[in-house]
Structure 1
Amino acid sequence: MVHTPSPSKRSQNSVSPSFQSGKNENAVPTNLITYKGRRIPARIDPDASILRVVEIMAKSFGAPEHHITLALRDENDNLVTQTNIGAKVSSKETLKLVAAPVTEALAVVASLHAANDKPGEAGDPIVLPNNAEVLPPKLALFNLQKYIKEDDFAVEFMLKGGVKLLVDMLEKEGTGALTGNSLAYALQGIRGVMDYDNGWGDLSDAFIDRVIVVLASSSAPNVVRPATVIVRKLMVASPKAHSSGKGKSKAREGDSVNQYGFDRVFTRIVDVGHMVPDDHGGSPAEAVFRPIVKRLEGTRDLELVAQSLALINAALRSAQQEGSKRYSDLITVIEALGTRKYVARLIPSSQNNPVETRIFDFQTRYANVLRYHSLRPVKPQNNPTHERYLDDVWQTGRLDSEDGGGHRASPRPSMQDYQSSGQRTWDGWRRMGLSIDYVEASDPLNETELFRSIGELGLECLHYYAVHEDNFHSVVLEQLARPADRRCPIGKASAECVKVLYDHYKISQSAQRGASHFQPFMLNFPRLHSLVLKFFLRMWQDSESRLDDFERLSYLVRSQVRQTLADEHSKTWLDLEHDFLGADYRNIREGQMEMIDKEDGLLERPAVAALRAKVGHEAYEVMAEQRVICMQQGGWFNTAHVLKSGIDVTTRANPTRPHRFVRLSPNRRQLGWSEYTVRPKEKPAFEQLREKIDLANISEVRVQTGCAVGSRSPDTVSKNSFSIMASPELSLLDLDAIHAAQFAEWVDGLRVLKQEVPMSTQESANYMHILTELALKVRLLDITGDGIEIPQKVTFGTAPKSTDFWFAS
C-alpha cells in the first residue's frame, strides 16, 4: 500500500534510499511527501484508500495531529482525493501533508469570530484541532477564497456559521470596512458559497447594498470581478428563474436561494444609486449601470468584459422571465447608456474568446426587447415618450398642411423650424401614408390604431427615420406632388420595413431560440430600418410603382434584405449602404430568382412540385426535338473497332476508311451512313449515303463498346464509343463520337426515336436540369414577384346544388 523508510534510517531533511515494506525493502518510491519542512520518499499504491495513505504518512512523520485532521495536497495546493490519487502517483508529483479542508474551515471561522469580536455567537464555540491556530483576518480570508470550492471546506464553513460572519464583515462601513485584497478575498468567498443551495439566507439587503456600491465605485479588477458575479447570481435567483435545474444550481420553492431575483435586486440598485459617484446627472439606476457598461470598453481584461456583459444579460433575462413591471425601466437605462454601441464594438475582436457567447446572449436579449416593444401599444396620452415621438414626426414632416406651411425646408433645419400651430389630425397622418380605411376625418384622433400591427417599435423606427433623414419634409412633399395612385405611403412603407426585418431576424421566436452568429446590424435596428426604408422609397420611384404594386415591391425589399444580410457579420455599414442605396432596380429584380431557392419550404410545396413536373416535361420535349434535329443534320464519326466481347459486327472496321458519316432521314424512320477515306467539303445528303438502317430493326444502343481506328491506345475502350444493336449479340453500326456533346446528342437522340425515357447521358441530364430550374424560376418569379401566395395545399369546395347562381363581377 504505502512503503516508507524505517525510522532508524530516516533523517529530518534527507531522502533515504531504503524502505521498510515488510517484504520488499528496495521498493522504488513513487512520490516525495513533505511535512513542515521534512521530506520522506514513499511508494504509494494508486488503488489504496486515501484515508489510509494519510494515516500512514501521519505516523511516518510522527505528526502530533490526529490523522483525520490532515490531508494531502500537491504543490499547487490541489487536494488529493480518491479520484485523482492515481494520476498523482503516476506523474510522481511531490505531495505535502497539511491540514484537512474541515480543519482549515474551522480555523477560518474561528478567525472570523475573533475579527468580529464575537467569540460566543453563531452557535457552539469553535473547537480547533491540536496545533491549529487562529489566523490573522487577511490570511483567513485568503484561505477562504482559496479553499471555498472544495465541498468539505464549504460545508463545514456554512455549518459553523461562517457565512453570517463573512456577511457581517462585508456590511461594515467606515474605519472597520474591508478594503483592497481583503475585500476581494471576502467577495470571492461569497461567490464560492453561492455555488451551493445553502448559505443564501444570510445575504441581507444591507449586504446587497454594500456589494452594489462596491461594484459601481471600485476600479480594482480583483474586487469588481467577484462583485459582478455575486450581483448576477442574485439577479437570476428567483422562484420563477430557478423552478427547475440540476446539481448545485437546483433550487426548490421555499429555499433561501429563491428569495432574490430581479425585482429585489433592482429595487436595491435604485435605492443605493445615489451613493455612487456620478457626474452625468442620470437616474440612480444609470449611476450603477454606467460603470458596468463602460467596462465593456476594456478589451484587455476579457474576463471582466465577459462578466460585465453577463450581468447585463442576466438582468434583461430575469426581468423578462419574471414578468417584472420594471422591465421597461431597465430597458430605458440600458438604452440611455448606449450599451448596444459598446457591444457592437466588441464584435470584431471577440471571435473564439470568452466574450463571444456573451455577445450571442446579448443579441438574444435585444431581440426580446424588440419583441417587447412591438407588442406594446402606442399610447401618447399615457406615455410622454410616445407623445414626444409623435410630435417630432408631425413637426419634422410639417403634416398640418399640404403645402408644408408655405416655406421651403432648409437642407438640415433645426427643430425650431418645424413648429406648427395646428393639432395632429387624421388628414395630416394620411399625407405621409398613415391611415385607417374605416376612419372618417371628423372622428376623434386615436393614434394607437396607426401603429397597432407593430406597436411602439414601429413608432420608434419611424421617429428615427424622420429626425435623421436630411430632409424628411421634402420626402413627404415629393410624394404629395405625385398623382394619388403613384404616391408611396411613407408610414405604411415604414411599418412594412419593420415587419421585413422582424421576420428576417425571427424576432417572434427570440424567446425559444438563441443567436449562433454575430448580428451587428440588428444591434442598431432603427438605423437599419432607416436604410431599408430609403431602399423601399427608391425602388418605388425607380419601378414607377402604383398603390396596387405595394405587395410586389414589399417582396422585392424582402428578397434584398435576405440577400444582403445573409452574411452580415462580414460586412460594414459602408457595404450595407452600397447594397441598399447603390444597387440598380433591374439587377435587384433579377436577383430575386436566386432567392426563390432559399424560400422556406417553397420548392417543396405540392403546387410547386406539380409546376416543376410540368416544366420538366416541357424541357424534355425541347431537348428531344433538339437531339433529333442534330441527327437530321448528320455528323462525322470515327470508325470504331469493337473491343467488348460477345458482340458480333455486321460491318468490320476498315482502317483505310477511318471516317463514317451518319444522317437521320427526313421522315425519321431510317439512318443512312457511309465510310470515307477523306472527309468531303460538303456533308453528304441522305440519298448519297449507301448504307441504310431501319429504326425498327434497332433493339438498343450500347455505349462504350470499342475504340477509334488508328487510336494511340488500341486496347482501351473509348468513353465516346457506342454500337447500334440489332440484338444483344449483333451490332449494326459501331461509332466513336468526336466529343462528349456529339455522343450525348446521338445516344439520347436514338433513345428518343425509340421512345425510351429518360435520356441516359449526364450531359443531357445537366441540360434538362438547367432548363427545368430556369423555367420554374421564371414562372415563380411571375407569381411571387406580384405578391401572390402559393398555397401549401389546394382544396376544392363542394359543388353547387343547382344552377341557380351567378358569378360576381
Structure 2
Amino acid sequence: MDNISELIERLSNDEDAVKKMAVFKLQSNIGDPSFAERFIAQGGLSKLRELALTASGNTLAYSLTSFSRLLELDKGWDYVNAELISRVVELIVTHPLVNILRGAMSILVSIVSHPHITSARGSYTGPFGFRALKPAIGAHPQFLEMLVSRLSSADHALCANSLQLINSLMRDAITNDADNEWPRFIKRLQDLGVIKAVFVLMQSSALQDLAHPLLEFQALTKVLLRRWRDVKVDLEVKEHRIALKGLHLASAPEKPSDPSSTKKKHNPEKWRRLGFETESPAWEFGEVGFLGMMDLTDFVRKDEDGFRKVLLEQNAKTLDFRCPVARASITVTLILYHQFQVDKSDLDDAKTYAVLESRTNYERAFRPLLLQWSRLHTAGLQAFLRLWTETGASAEDFDKVAELVRVLIYHVVGQAPRTKEVQEVEEELTLFEYLRLRDLQMEILEQSYESAWGNHLKQVREELKSEAFQFVKEQRIRCLLHGAWFPVTVAPRTENGTTQQKEQKKTQAHSTAWRYVRLSHNRRYLHYCDYEMETAYEPKLEELPEKIDLSIVSSVVSNVVPASIVSNSSTNTLTQASKLGSTKITIHGYPPHDSPDRKHAREVVLLTLHPQTHSVASEWLDGLLMLLNQQPITSETSKLINLVTNYGLKIRLLNVRYTDDFHTNPPDLPSREGVDDDYYYSLFV
C-alpha cells in the first residue's frame, strides 16, 4: 500500500471492522523490507503491538502474523518485552483458534532464536532464548505440555509451527545453557511425549508439509547424542556415581556372610562380573561417554530381573566363555552411533536443499528409528547375547560376534523403510536366524570384493558427481545471495528493448556507473539498484528497491568466454581484458502474471549484467541457470564439479584397507633389504 499513514490511522479506529481490514492488508505487505521500514518510521509499530496485546478474533490473528513477520526481518525488537511474551505464552496455553496459535508460535520462535547480543538498531536489552520465556512459563506451567499436544493437531501448519518452536527451545537449551540444565529440560520434553509425537509425524503422509522442522528435529537429536557422548563418565559427579551404583545393586551382589559385621569386604571382581574388562568402569566408557552409560542403565532398568538372570547364566560359565555384558552394551552403542552417522549433521549437508524440494528423497533422508535409540540399543544388546550363545563364542571371538551384530543392525535398522514400526524392528533383531545372518555377511563380503572391479567404481563416481552437482549448485546460489557489483556500460532501453540512440548522449551523462545485484533470502526475487560509484559497503536487501520476480524469467543468455580458452591463451593481458569488457549476461522474461497484456506480451530484457572476471561470470551465469533448474554451461563450473567428484572418490579409496580385499590372508610385508630410508613400498594399488 502507498498510503501507509492512512493504514496506521485505521489500526486505532474505534470500529473493529476497520481495524480488522487494516491489519489484514498489513500482514500481506509487512514482509517487504522497504514497506516495513516506512511503517516503523511513521509510528505504526506501537499500534500494531497494542493490537497484539488487546485484540481478539481475526484481528488478533492478523496482528500476531504481522508482528512475527517484522521480527523475521529483524525489526521491531524495541517493542518486545515481558508483557508481550507473557501475552503470547498465555494465548498458546489458552486459545483454541489455529490462526491465532500460528502467529503466536512464530513470534516465540523469533524470540528464542534471536542472538543474545542485540543489533545496534534495537534498544531492547532483555533476555532472549529460553531465558526470555521462563517467567511466562512459570506463570503457565502447562505451556510445554500444550506445545507438545499441538503436534497431534490435524492442521499441518500448526504442527510445523509447534515443532519449530520446540526445536528453537531445544537448540537454545543445548547451546546456550550456562547452568547445564539442558538434560532436565530435554527429559521434561521426552516425558511429555515429544519423541512419540515426532516419530508419528515422521512416518505420516504429511511429511512434505513438515519436512523442514522434522529434519531439524532429527538433526537436533544427533546433536543431543553427540553431547551425551562427549560427557565423560566421572565418579566425582554425583549423577554418574549414582548411576554406577544402581548398576551394581541391580546385579544382585553377594551379601557378606556375617550380616552383623560392620566392615565391608571389597569384591575383587565387583565390576568384571558385570562384563567390564577392568575394575575401573568409568574409564571403559571412554569411547561412548555418558551416552554409553545411559544405554546400559536403560537396559538394566527396563528388566532388572532379566539382567540378573543374564549375569547368573554368564557367571556360571568358565571365564573364557562368558559374554561380557557391559562391554557388549558399549559395543552396541558404538554400532548404532556409526549406523546413524551421528557425527554427521543433517542440516550441514548440501543434499538437505534437494530433500526439501523433492519428495523422492524423503525415504533416504528421514530416519524415524533414530528417535527410538534406547529401544534399538536394548534389542541390539539382546541380539548380541543371543548370538554369543548360539555360536558358542569365547572371549577371543568377541570381535567376530560384534561384526555379526553390526551386519544385523545394518540390515534390519539401516535398510528399514521409513514407515516400518519399531516393534517390527525389535522382533526382527530378536528372531533373525544365525545361519541367515552368516549368509548375509558373506553377501556383504562378496560385494566388498566386487567393489574393487566391475562397474562399482563407475556407480560410486556417478553418485559422487550427483552430490558434487548439488554442492556446487548451492555454492553458486550462495554467491547470488551474497550479492555483487556490476558496471553499467550499455545505453538505456525502451520498454520493447530497442536502444534510443538519439537520447543516448543526453541520458548517458546522468546514468549511473555501477549496479548492485543480490538474490533475496527466499530465492524468489533478484533485487538490484544503480549507484554512481562502487563502494566497499555492500547494500542490504531492503536498500535495493528494484526487483525481478524469477517466476517470470524465461531464459538467461550470455557471451561468457569459457575460462579454458582464456587460461590456455597466449594473448596479452589487454586482449583478455577486452574480452572481459564485452562479457554480458542477459536475463529475459515476460510481464508479471497479473499483467493485463500478459497473453500478447513478447519476451523482453529484464536485466543485463556485465561481470568483470571469469569467476564472477561463471558464478552468476550458472547460478542463475541452476536456480531456474537448468544445467550449468561454463567450463569453470564443470571443472569444479569434476574436482569435487574426484576428491570424493579419492577419499573413498583412501578408506579402503588391504584387509578389506584380503580379509583372511593379508599380503606379506616386503623386505627392505637393499633400500634406503627414503624408499617405501605401496601396498595399495
Instruction: Report the TM range for the smaller structure's normalisation.
Output: 0.5 to 0.7
- Amino acid in structure 1 at the alignment position of 2:46: K
**1:453 alignment partner in structure 2:** 287
SS of corresponding position for 1:295:
helix
Alpha-carbon shift at residue 113 of structure 1 (Å): 5.5
Q: What is the distance in 2 between the residues matched to 1:598 and 1:504?
A: 18
Instruction: Answer yes or no: is 1:230 the counterpart of 2:107.
Output: yes
SS of corresponding position for 2:368:
coil
Alpha-carbon shift at residue 295 of structure 1 (Å): 0.8
Alpha-carbon shift at residue 781 of structure 1 (Å): 9.2
- Amino acid in structure 2 at the alignment position of 1:232: V
Task: Using CA pairs under 8 Å that are at least 6 residues apart, name the structure with larger relative contact order, 1 or 2.
Answer: 2
Q: 1:536 aligns with which of 381, 384, 389?
A: 384
**1:268 alignment partner in structure 2:** 132
SS of corresponding position for 1:342:
helix
Q: Deviations over 1:337-367 (max 9, x none)?
A: 2211111122332355312333222111111
**2:274 alignment partner in structure 1:** 432
Q: What is the distance in 1 between the residues matched to 2:121 and 2:393?
A: 64
Q: What is the distance in 1 between the residues matched to 2:403 and 2:164?
A: 38
Instruction: Answer yes or no: is 1:311 the counterpart of 2:165.
Output: yes
Instruction: Answer yes or no: is 1:588 the counterpart of 2:437.
Output: yes
Alpha-carbon shift at residue 273 of structure 1 (Å): 1.6
Q: 1:350 aligns with which of 177, 183, 205?
A: 205
Question: Is contact 2:93–2:146 with CA below 8 Å preserved after alignment?
Answer: yes
Instruction: Answer yes or no: is 1:465 the counterpart of 2:299.
Output: yes
Question: Is contact 2:203–2:368 with CA below 8 Å preserved after alignment?
Answer: no
Matches within 5 A, 1:33-72: none
Q: Deviations over 1:526-576 (max 9, x none)?
A: 110000000100111111111111111111111111111233224333432
Shift of the 598–533 alpha-carbon distance from structure 1 to 2, 3 Å rule, reads farther
Alpha-carbon shift at residue 194 of structure 1 (Å): 2.1
Alpha-carbon shift at residue 114 of structure 1 (Å): 6.4
Shift of the 425–380 alpha-carbon distance from structure 1 to 2, 3 Å rule, reads farther
Instruction: Answer yes or no: is 1:157 the counterpart of 2:35.
Output: no
- Amino acid in structure 2 at the alignment position of 1:595: I
Q: Deviations over 1:463-487 (max 9, x none)?
A: 1111223521101100000000100
Matches within 5 A, 1:178-189: 178-189=55-66
Q: 2:25 aligns with which of 123, 136, 143?
A: 143
Question: Is contact 2:292–2:333 with CA below 8 Å preserved after alignment?
Answer: yes
Shift of the 383–144 alpha-carbon distance from structure 1 to 2, 3 Å rule, reads farther
SS of corresponding position for 1:579:
helix
Question: Is contact 2:379–2:426 with CA below 8 Å preserved after alignment?
Answer: yes
Q: What is the distance in 2 between the residues matched to 1:216 and 1:797?
A: 76
Q: 1:372 aligns with which of 220, 227, 230?
A: 227
Shift of the 169–402 alpha-carbon distance from structure 1 to 2, 3 Å rule, reads same
SS of corresponding position for 1:102:
coil
TM-score, with length taken from structure 2: 0.59
Q: What is the distance in 2 between the residues matched to 1:452 and 1:288?
A: 38
**1:523 alignment partner in structure 2:** 371
Instruction: Answer yes or no: is 1:550 the counterpart of 2:414.
Output: no
Q: Deviations over 1:616-645 (max 9, x none)?
A: xxxxxxxxxxxxxxxxxxxxxxxxxxxxxx
Q: What is the distance in 1 between the residues matched to 2:322 and 2:285?
A: 20
Shift of the 451–602 alpha-carbon distance from structure 1 to 2, 3 Å rule, reads farther
Instruction: Answer yes or no: is 1:166 the counterpart of 2:48.
Output: yes
Shift of the 134–341 alpha-carbon distance from structure 1 to 2, 3 Å rule, reads closer
**2:492 alignment partner in structure 1:** none
Question: Is contact 2:276–2:325 with CA below 8 Å preserved after alignment?
Answer: yes
Shift of the 226–402 alpha-carbon distance from structure 1 to 2, 3 Å rule, reads farther
- Amino acid in structure 2 at the alignment position of 1:209: S
Q: What is the distance in 2 between the residues matched to 1:794 and 1:303?
A: 63
**1:340 alignment partner in structure 2:** 195
Q: What is the distance in 2 between the residues matched to 1:208 and 1:795?
A: 73
Instruction: Answer yes or no: is 1:102 the counterpart of 2:5.
Output: no
**2:155 alignment partner in structure 1:** 301
Shift of the 306–535 alpha-carbon distance from structure 1 to 2, 3 Å rule, reads same
Higher helix share: 2
Shift of the 113–507 alpha-carbon distance from structure 1 to 2, 3 Å rule, reads same
Matches within 5 A, 1:325-724: 325-350=180-205, 352-379=207-234, 381-384=236-239, 386-400=240-254, 427-436=269-278, 447-469=281-303, 471-510=306-345, 512-513=348-349, 516-568=364-416, 569-596=418-445, 603-604=451-452
Q: Deviations over 1:170-192 (max 9, x none)?
A: 45xxxxx3333332122112022
Q: What is the distance in 2 between the residues matched to 1:797 and 1:318?
A: 58
SS of corresponding position for 2:401:
helix
Could you tell me which runs of 5 or more consecutive residues in structure 1 were left unpaired when the two chains were aligned.
1-100, 116-132, 172-176, 241-251, 277-283, 407-420, 440-445, 610-778, 802-809
Q: What is the distance in 2 between the residues matched to 1:465 and 1:491?
A: 10
- Amino acid in structure 1 at the alignment position of 2:413: L
Instruction: Answer yes or no: is 1:290 the counterpart of 2:145.
Output: yes
Q: 1:207 aligns with which of 84, 90, 96?
A: 84
Alpha-carbon shift at residue 259 of structure 1 (Å): 6.7
CA RMSD across the alignment: 3.8
Shift of the 598–168 alpha-carbon distance from structure 1 to 2, 3 Å rule, reads farther
The alignment covers a number of residue pairs equal to: 455
- Amino acid in structure 2 at the alignment position of 1:369: L
- Amino acid in structure 1 at the alignment position of 2:440: G
Shift of the 561–186 alpha-carbon distance from structure 1 to 2, 3 Å rule, reads same
Shift of the 473–781 alpha-carbon distance from structure 1 to 2, 3 Å rule, reads farther
**2:681 alignment partner in structure 1:** none
Q: What is the distance in 1 between the residues matched to 2:447 and 2:72?
A: 46
Q: What is the distance in 2 between the residues matched to 1:255 and 1:797?
A: 70
Q: What is the distance in 2 between the residues matched to 1:328 and 1:467?
A: 19
Larger-gyration structure (1/2): 1
Question: Is contact 1:154–1:193 with CA below 8 Å preserved after alignment?
Answer: yes
- Amino acid in structure 1 at the alignment position of 2:290: E
Q: What is the distance in 1 between the residues matched to 2:134 and 2:158?
A: 23
Question: Is contact 1:379–1:448 with CA below 8 Å preserved after alignment?
Answer: yes
**2:651 alignment partner in structure 1:** none
